[in-house]
Amino acid sequence: MSQSRILVDSNAYFRLAKSIHPLLNVVFGDKQYCLYVIKELQIEYDRNPRLKNTFSWVNDSEYAENRSRVLEVAREEKAEIKRAYDFILDYVRTVHPGVSKIDVRCLSHAEQLGIPVVTDDEEMRSVAREYGIKTYKTLELLKLMLECHYIGIEKIREITAYLRYCNDMPKDFKADYEKLFGETPPK
Amino acid sequence: MENKLNVENVNQKAQELGLNQTALAREMQVSREAVSKWLRNEKFPRPDKLLKLARVLNLSFAELVSKIPTGNEPVIAFRKKGAHKITSEYINHAQDMGRILTELVTYLPFDELSQPAVLKSPSADYAYLHKVTKRIRKEIAVQEGDEIHFVSLINFFNDLQAVIIPVLWGNKDKHENALHIYLPESMTTWIYLNLDCRVHDFKFWMAHELGHIHAPKLQGEEGEDFAEAFAGALLIPKELAACEYEALQKLTNAWSQINHIKSLAERLVVSPLTVYYEINNYAVNSGKAKIDLETHKEIYQATSNFNKQFKPVSECLFGTKSPSPSRYIASAKEQFGSPFFDILKKYLHENRKSASFIQSILNIRLLDAQNVYEELC
C-alpha cells in the first residue's frame, strides 16, 4: 500500500516538530499516513537568522536531518507545480496578500499532487478551498494521530498546554479542541 | 490590477488543439454558457477553473491572463545606485509588501480627516530645492554649517505621518537599503529602513526618503531624481557648499582636499561622496569650475575607506551583531517613534495571524519571523 502523504505548512511544523519528534517521514496508521514539508522550508531554515535566535532546536542536526527528506516530486510534476504556483500566487496577491510565498509553494505542491495540507491559517485554508485542496487544522492532525494510536491524549494535552502558554493558539482553538477531543483544553 | 482573460490566446490555442467551445466546456467540466461568458470577458473564471483552463490549453499565467492597471496599486520607490538594474521580481515583491501593508491601515493612529502638507510644485531645480530645504532647516533650527541630527529627520517622518519600519536586511550596497511604499487608496506612506546600512549612508537614505514624502506625486525616475537632489540639498546647504568650495580651492593637492572633505563628512555624519557631490553641484549651478577628485577615483576610494571606520546603524543601536527580538522591536518605537510594531501586534492578535505573515510583511527570514512572532504574541 502506498503512503498517504500529508504536507505540513511552516507554522504547523513549528507548532509540532519539537513535541512530536520525529514529526516527518514516519508512517503511521492503516492508511500509511506520512508527513512531509517542502524543500523550500528546509532552505529557509538553512539561512542564518539575523536576530538572536531563541529557537535553536530548529537547526539541531536531528531536526534538520528529519526535514532533509523532503517531499519527492517527479520532473513532470515540477512544471505543473510551477504553473500552479504562478496562478495561486496571483490569486493570493489579489485576495489574500498575507499568505507567504513559502505557503503558496506548499499549496501549489498540494494542488498538483492531490495531497492535503496541515495549516491553521484562515487565509491559507480559504485559498485551499478555492483550489479544491483538502486541509487539516493542527488539532485535526492530532486527532488523526490519536485515532491511529500514533500518539496518546496526554501528548495532545501537553502540546495544547504549550501552545496556550506561548499564546500561539489558532482561531477557534478552544471550540475545535472541545469538539474533537470532548474535553476542555488544558491550561 | 484587474485580471482579464487573454481571449486571443485562448481562442488561438483552442483552435490549435481542435477544441471548439463545446469541447472546451466538456474538458473543463463546465457549461458551454460559462465558457462563452469567459470568452466574451463577461465573467472571469474561478481560481480553480482558471488553473484548469491553463492546463487544458497548456498556457502559462502570463499567456492566459492580462493584467489591467487599476490606479490603486501600491506605488514603490527605490533609490537608484549606479547602473544597477532593479529586477521586475524585486518590484513585484515590493508591491506584494504594499498589499500586505494595506491590511494594517485601519490600525494606524493617524488623523483620518486631514493629511500633512506636501510641496505644491516640487522640482529638482537647484535653486528651488535649496529654498525648500532652507525652510526645513529653519523649522528645525539647524544652522547652515551644522549637522542635521537623526532625531530631527525622524521627527519629520512622524510629523508627515510616514510609518518607519526598521528592518535588518543585512549589508546591502545597491537599492535595498530603503523601500518607500505609498498606498494611494489610504494615502499612507510606509518606509522600510535597513538598519544594517553604514551610519553615514543611513542619514542620506533617510533624507532621500523624506524627499519622497514631501513630493508624493513625483514617481518613477522623476521622483528618484527629486529625492536624491532633495537629500543632498537638505544635508549640505548651498551656503555651506559655497564656503567649502572656496576652502577646497585654496588647498594645493587632491589628498588635502579629500582630507578636508572627510573631516566635514565626519562632522555632519554624511558620506564624503555626498559632501563632494554637493560642493560640485554648487559649483555647476554657480558657473564655477568643478573640483575634480574622480580622475583617479580618489574620492570613491577615500569614501570606501572612510565608511569602513564606522559600524552599521544596527550595531550602534544594539551594541551587538545579533540583537534580541525584544530589543529590535523596542527600537522601532524608542529610536524611530514608529507605531509599526504596536499596530502589527494588534493586527496579529485580532486576526490570529502566524509567523509567516510577519515573514511576508517584513521580508525577513522565517526563523527571524518566528522570533518576532514569539515576542509579539
**Chain A CA closest to residue B361:** A98
To which residue does cell 505548512 refer?
A: A9
Helices B355-362 and B88-102 pack at an angle, to 10 degrees, of 130
To which residue does cell 575634480 refer?
A: B292
Pairwise pLDDT comparison (B86 vs A18), residue with the higher score: A18
Q: What pLDDT is recorded for position A169?
A: 86
State the smallest CA–CA distance between residue A107 and chain B in angstroms.
12
Q: Cβ contact (<8 Å) for B360 and A101?
A: yes
Amino acid letter, residue B27: E
State the smallest CA–CA distance between residue A158 and chain B in angstroms.
19
State the smallest CA–CA distance between residue B312 and chain A in angstroms.
14
Q: What pLDDT is recorded for position B1?
A: 82
Q: Cβ contact (<8 Å) for B3 and A90?
A: yes
- Tens digit of pLDDT per residue, chain B (377 long)? 899 999 999 999 999 999 999 999 999 999 999 999 999 999 999 999 999 999 999 999 999 999 998 878 999 887 766 656 667 888 889 999 999 999 999 999 987 777 778 899 999 999 999 999 999 999 888 888 899 999 999 998 998 899 999 999 998 877 778 999 999 999 999 999 999 999 999 999 999 999 999 998 888 889 989 999 999 999 999 999 999 999 999 998 999 999 999 999 999 999 999 999 999 999 999 999 999 999 989 999 999 999 989 999 999 999 999 999 999 999 999 999 999 999 999 999 998 888 999 999 999 999 999 999 999 98
Give the residue from A52, A76, A104 with the most B CB atoms within 10 Å of its CB, the best one to mutate.
A52
Rounded CA separation B46/B364 (Å): 32
Q: Residues of A with CB below 8 A from B29's CB?
A: none
Give SS3 for A167: coil
- How many Cβ contacts (< 8 angstroms) between chains A and B? 129
Q: Which residues contact B241 (CB under 8 A, 6 or more apart)?
A: B278, B279, B281, B282
A122 CB within 8 Å of a chain B CB: yes
Rounded CA separation B151/B153 (Å): 5
A33: left (phi over 0), alpha (psi -120 to 50) or beta: beta
Q: What pLDDT is recorded for position B111?
A: 77
Q: Both ends of chain A: CA-CA distance in Å? A: 40
Give SS3 for A28: strand
Question: CA A141, A92, A9 angle in degrees (round to 5)?
Answer: 25
Q: Residues of A with CB below 8 A from B325's CB?
A: 51-52, 54
Q: Cβ contact (<8 Å) for A93 and B99?
A: yes
Q: Cβ contact (<8 Å) for A83 and B60?
A: yes
Rounded CA separation A20/B136 (Å): 59
Nearest of B367, B147, B108 to residue B275 by alpha carbon: B147
CB proximity under 8 Å: A 25-64 to B:
41, 44-45, 47-55, 58
Which run of H or of E encompasses A33? Answer: strand A33-36
Nearest of B153, B159, B236 to residue B202 by alpha carbon: B153
Strand partners, A33: A4, A28
Output the nine-digit C-alpha cell for B353. Answer: 495571524
Output the nine-digit C-alpha cell for A171. Answer: 482561531
Rounded CA separation B5/B218 (Å): 32
Q: Cβ contact (<8 Å) for B359 and A102?
A: yes
A74 CB within 8 Å of a chain B CB: no
Strand partners, B189: B162, B182
Q: Residues of B with CB below 8 A from A121's CB?
A: 353-354, 356
Q: For residue B167, count CB atoms less than 10 angstroms from its CB and return exposed for 0-12, middle for 13-18, buried for 19 or more.
A: buried
State the smallest CA–CA distance between residue A165 and chain B in angstroms.
11
To which residue does cell 531536526 refer?
A: A63
Nearest of B190, A136, B233, B187 to residue B225 by alpha carbon: B233
Rounded CA separation B78/B76 (Å): 7
Q: What is the pLDDT of residues A74-85, one digit of tens each?
A: 999 999 999 999
Written in H, E and C, the secondary structure of chain B is CEEEECHHHHHHHHHHCCCCHHHHHHHHCCCHHHHHHHHCCCCCCCHHHHHHHHHHHCCCHHHHEEEECCCCCCEEECCCCCCCCCCHHHHHHHHHHHHHHHCCHHHCCCCCCCCCCCCCCCCCCHHHHHHHHHHHHHHCCCCCCCCCCHHHHHHHHHHCCEEEEEECCCCCCCCCCEEEEEECCCCEEEEEEECCCEHHHHHHHHHHHHHHHHCCCCCHHHHHHHHHHHHHHHHCCHHHHHHHHHHHHCCCCHHHHHHHHHHHHHHHCCCHHHHHHHHHHHHHHCCCCCCCCCCCCHHHHHHHHHHHCCCEHHHHHHCCCCCCHHHHHHHHHHHHCCCHHHHHHHHHHHHCCCHHHHHHHHCCCHHHHHHHHHHHC
Give the residue from B2, B356, B365, B373 with the most A CB atoms within 10 Å of its CB, the best one to mutate.
B356
Give the residue from A87, A105, A130 with the most B CB atoms within 10 Å of its CB, the best one to mutate.
A87
Amino acid letter, residue A115: I
Strand partners, B181: B76, B190
Rounded CA separation A91/A97 (Å): 9
Nearest of B84, B197, B189 to residue B150 by alpha carbon: B197
**Chain B CA closest to residue A123:** B353
Q: Cβ contact (<8 Å) for A100 and B371?
A: no
State the smallest CA–CA distance between residue B321 and chain A in angstroms.
8
Strand partners, A28: A33
Q: What pLDDT is recorded for position B118?
A: 87
Residue pair A171/B352 in contact by the 8 Å Cβ criterion? yes
Nearest of B323, B123, B108 to residue B218 by alpha carbon: B123
ipTM of the complex: 0.94
Nearest residue, CB atoms, A87 vs list B54, B361, B374: B54
Strand partners, B5: B65
Give the residue from B1, B2, B5, B51 with the most A CB atoms within 10 Å of its CB, the best one to mutate.
B51
A129 CB within 8 Å of a chain B CB: no
Q: Residues of B with CB below 8 A from A171's CB?
A: 352
Residue pair B281/B175 in contact by the 8 Å Cβ criterion? no
Residue pair A57/A28 in contact by the 8 Å Cβ criterion? no
**Chain B CA closest to residue A42:** B366
CB proximity under 8 Å: A 133-162 to B:
none
